[in-house]
Amino acid sequence: MMQKYILLDRDGVINHESETFIKSPEEWLPINGSLEAIALLNQHGFRVVVITNQSGLARGLFDEKTLSKIHDKMCDAVIEFGGTIEAIYFCPHQAVDLCECRKPKAGLLKQFAADYVVDLKNVVFIGDSLRDIQAGQSVGVTPILVKTGNGLKTLQNNPQFLTSLLIFENLYDTAKHIIGR
Protein backbone atom coordinates (compact mmCIF):
# COMPACT_ATOMS: atom_id res chain seq x y z
CA MET A 1 0.00 0.00 0.00
CA MET A 2 1.29 3.44 -0.92
CA GLN A 3 1.91 5.73 2.04
CA LYS A 4 -0.01 9.01 2.08
CA TYR A 5 1.82 12.10 3.32
CA ILE A 6 0.75 15.57 4.34
CA LEU A 7 3.42 18.26 4.68
CA LEU A 8 2.84 21.13 7.10
CA ASP A 9 4.58 24.40 7.71
CA ARG A 10 5.01 24.90 11.47
CA ASP A 11 4.67 28.54 12.56
CA GLY A 12 1.26 29.94 11.67
CA VAL A 13 -0.15 26.52 10.75
CA ILE A 14 0.42 24.31 13.81
CA ASN A 15 1.39 26.95 16.34
CA HIS A 16 0.89 30.68 16.74
CA GLU A 17 3.30 32.88 14.81
CA SER A 18 5.58 35.38 16.56
CA GLU A 19 7.21 38.40 14.95
CA THR A 20 10.09 37.90 17.40
CA PHE A 21 10.36 34.16 16.62
CA ILE A 22 9.47 31.15 18.77
CA LYS A 23 12.66 30.97 20.85
CA SER A 24 11.72 28.54 23.64
CA PRO A 25 9.32 25.70 24.35
CA GLU A 26 7.32 28.08 26.54
CA GLU A 27 6.68 30.37 23.55
CA TRP A 28 5.38 27.49 21.43
CA LEU A 29 1.57 27.61 21.65
CA PRO A 30 -0.65 25.49 19.40
CA ILE A 31 -3.38 27.03 17.29
CA ASN A 32 -6.80 25.78 18.39
CA GLY A 33 -7.64 22.57 16.57
CA SER A 34 -4.20 22.05 15.01
CA LEU A 35 -3.21 19.13 17.24
CA GLU A 36 -6.59 17.48 16.70
CA ALA A 37 -6.16 18.01 12.96
CA ILE A 38 -2.87 16.12 12.90
CA ALA A 39 -4.42 13.27 14.90
CA LEU A 40 -7.41 13.23 12.53
CA LEU A 41 -5.12 13.01 9.50
CA ASN A 42 -3.17 10.17 11.14
CA GLN A 43 -6.40 8.30 11.92
CA HIS A 44 -7.23 8.41 8.21
CA GLY A 45 -3.89 6.96 7.15
CA PHE A 46 -1.86 10.12 6.53
CA ARG A 47 1.68 10.49 7.77
CA VAL A 48 2.43 14.09 8.76
CA VAL A 49 5.80 15.74 8.13
CA VAL A 50 6.74 19.30 9.13
CA ILE A 51 8.73 21.51 6.72
CA THR A 52 9.81 24.76 8.41
CA ASN A 53 12.18 27.71 8.04
CA GLN A 54 13.95 28.42 11.33
CA SER A 55 16.19 31.42 10.66
CA GLY A 56 16.27 32.15 14.40
CA LEU A 57 19.12 29.62 14.48
CA ALA A 58 21.28 31.66 12.08
CA ARG A 59 20.31 34.83 13.91
CA GLY A 60 21.58 33.37 17.19
CA LEU A 61 18.17 33.66 18.88
CA PHE A 62 18.24 29.99 19.90
CA ASP A 63 20.40 26.93 19.30
CA GLU A 64 19.63 23.49 17.85
CA LYS A 65 19.23 22.02 21.34
CA THR A 66 16.49 24.56 22.11
CA LEU A 67 14.87 23.96 18.72
CA SER A 68 14.85 20.25 19.51
CA LYS A 69 13.09 20.99 22.82
CA ILE A 70 10.50 23.11 21.00
CA HIS A 71 9.90 20.28 18.56
CA ASP A 72 9.73 17.75 21.40
CA LYS A 73 7.00 19.86 23.02
CA MET A 74 5.11 20.01 19.73
CA CYS A 75 5.40 16.25 19.12
CA ASP A 76 4.40 15.44 22.71
CA ALA A 77 1.37 17.72 22.40
CA VAL A 78 0.32 15.95 19.19
CA ILE A 79 0.72 12.56 20.93
CA GLU A 80 -1.63 13.72 23.70
CA PHE A 81 -4.32 14.03 21.01
CA GLY A 82 -3.56 10.61 19.58
CA GLY A 83 -1.46 11.71 16.65
CA THR A 84 2.15 11.69 15.59
CA ILE A 85 4.53 13.74 13.50
CA GLU A 86 6.61 11.47 11.29
CA ALA A 87 9.54 13.85 10.77
CA ILE A 88 10.58 17.48 10.96
CA TYR A 89 12.74 19.14 8.30
CA PHE A 90 14.05 22.60 9.04
CA CYS A 91 16.19 25.20 7.33
CA PRO A 92 18.54 26.91 9.81
CA HIS A 93 19.54 29.70 7.42
CA GLN A 94 18.52 33.30 6.79
CA ALA A 95 17.36 34.49 3.36
CA VAL A 96 20.71 36.25 2.80
CA ASP A 97 22.48 32.86 2.99
CA LEU A 98 20.99 31.90 -0.41
CA CYS A 99 20.75 28.23 0.58
CA GLU A 100 18.67 25.68 -1.32
CA CYS A 101 16.68 24.55 1.74
CA ARG A 102 15.00 27.81 2.73
CA LYS A 103 11.47 28.13 1.40
CA PRO A 104 10.48 29.40 -1.18
CA LYS A 105 13.20 27.11 -2.56
CA ALA A 106 12.25 23.47 -2.47
CA GLY A 107 15.34 21.84 -0.95
CA LEU A 108 13.54 20.55 2.15
CA LEU A 109 10.66 19.14 0.10
CA LYS A 110 13.12 17.42 -2.24
CA GLN A 111 15.04 16.02 0.75
CA PHE A 112 11.81 14.65 2.21
CA ALA A 113 10.93 13.06 -1.16
CA ALA A 114 14.36 11.45 -1.42
CA ASP A 115 14.33 10.19 2.19
CA TYR A 116 10.85 8.67 1.93
CA VAL A 117 10.95 7.78 -1.82
CA VAL A 118 7.79 9.77 -2.46
CA ASP A 119 6.42 11.29 -5.67
CA LEU A 120 5.66 14.85 -4.58
CA LYS A 121 2.79 15.08 -7.09
CA ASN A 122 0.84 12.86 -4.66
CA VAL A 123 1.51 15.10 -1.65
CA VAL A 124 -0.31 18.07 -0.09
CA PHE A 125 1.65 20.93 1.52
CA ILE A 126 -0.26 23.18 3.91
CA GLY A 127 1.18 26.60 4.67
CA ASP A 128 0.31 30.15 5.62
CA SER A 129 2.75 32.14 3.49
CA LEU A 130 3.65 32.89 -0.10
CA ARG A 131 6.99 31.10 0.32
CA ASP A 132 5.18 27.89 1.37
CA ILE A 133 2.97 28.04 -1.72
CA GLN A 134 5.91 28.84 -4.02
CA ALA A 135 8.04 26.00 -2.63
CA GLY A 136 5.18 23.57 -3.09
CA GLN A 137 4.30 24.71 -6.60
CA SER A 138 7.93 24.46 -7.72
CA VAL A 139 7.94 20.68 -7.12
CA GLY A 140 4.36 19.86 -8.03
CA VAL A 141 2.78 19.26 -4.63
CA THR A 142 -0.78 20.39 -4.05
CA PRO A 143 -0.42 23.58 -2.00
CA ILE A 144 -3.15 24.62 0.43
CA LEU A 145 -3.27 27.98 2.19
CA VAL A 146 -4.66 28.38 5.71
CA LYS A 147 -5.80 31.78 6.97
CA THR A 148 -4.08 31.38 10.35
CA GLY A 149 -0.64 32.88 10.98
CA ASN A 150 0.27 34.98 7.95
CA GLY A 151 -2.44 33.40 5.82
CA LEU A 152 -4.83 36.35 5.68
CA LYS A 153 -2.01 38.75 4.85
CA THR A 154 -0.76 36.33 2.19
CA LEU A 155 -4.23 36.20 0.69
CA GLN A 156 -4.62 40.00 0.73
CA ASN A 157 -1.26 40.41 -1.02
CA ASN A 158 -1.98 37.62 -3.54
CA PRO A 159 -5.64 37.89 -4.56
CA GLN A 160 -5.01 35.48 -7.45
CA PHE A 161 -4.95 32.70 -4.82
CA LEU A 162 -8.73 33.09 -4.44
CA THR A 163 -9.18 31.32 -7.77
CA SER A 164 -5.99 29.24 -7.96
CA LEU A 165 -5.68 27.58 -4.51
CA LEU A 166 -7.62 25.66 -1.96
CA ILE A 167 -7.94 27.98 1.06
CA PHE A 168 -9.25 27.10 4.52
CA GLU A 169 -9.73 28.91 7.82
CA ASN A 170 -7.30 26.68 9.72
CA LEU A 171 -5.57 23.31 9.79
CA TYR A 172 -8.56 21.52 11.29
CA ASP A 173 -10.89 22.66 8.49
CA THR A 174 -8.24 21.61 5.99
CA ALA A 175 -7.94 18.16 7.56
CA LYS A 176 -11.71 17.68 7.46
CA HIS A 177 -11.69 18.57 3.75
CA ILE A 178 -8.79 16.19 2.98
CA ILE A 179 -10.33 13.20 4.74
CA GLY A 180 -13.70 13.97 3.15
CA ARG A 181 -12.35 13.54 -0.40
Active site annotation includes 97: no
pTM of the full predicted structure?
A: 0.96
Distances (CA, A) of 171 to 40, 87, 157, 164: 11, 18, 21, 19
The yes-or-no verdict on residue 3 having pLDDT over 80 is yes
Q: What's the pLDDT at 157?
A: 97
88 sits in which H/E element: strand 85-91
The residues, any chain, with a CB within 8 Å of residue 180's CB and separated by 6 or more, are none
Per-residue pLDDT of 74-94, as tens digits, reads 999 999 999 999 999 999 999
Find, among 151, 6, 141, the residue nearest to 78 by Cα: 6
Name the helix (H) or strand (E) containing 79.
helix 64-80
* From 9, 72, 132, 173, the catalytic residue: 9
Determine the pLDDT at residue 11: 98
The rounded distance, in Å, linking the Cα atoms of 176 and 40 is 8
What's the rounded Cα separation, in Å, for the pair 176 and 181?
Answer: 9
- The proportion of the chain whose per-residue pLDDT surpasses 90, expressed as a percent, equals 95
Sheet holding 166-168, edge to edge: 85-91, 46-53, 4-8, 124-127, 142-146, 166-168
Instruction: Considering the candidates 11, 76, 97, 119, report the single residue annotated as catalytic.
Output: 11
Fold (CATH) for 4-146+166-180: Rossmann fold (3.40.50)
User: Over the stretch 4-47, which tens digit does the pLDDT of each residue have?
Assistant: 999 999 999 999 999 999 999 999 999 999 999 999 999 999 99
Q: Where are the domains of the chain?
A: 4-146+166-180
Kindly report the backbone phi and psi dihedral angles of residue 71, in degrees, each rounded to the nearest multiple of 5, phi listed first: -70, -35
How much is the pLDDT for 142? 96
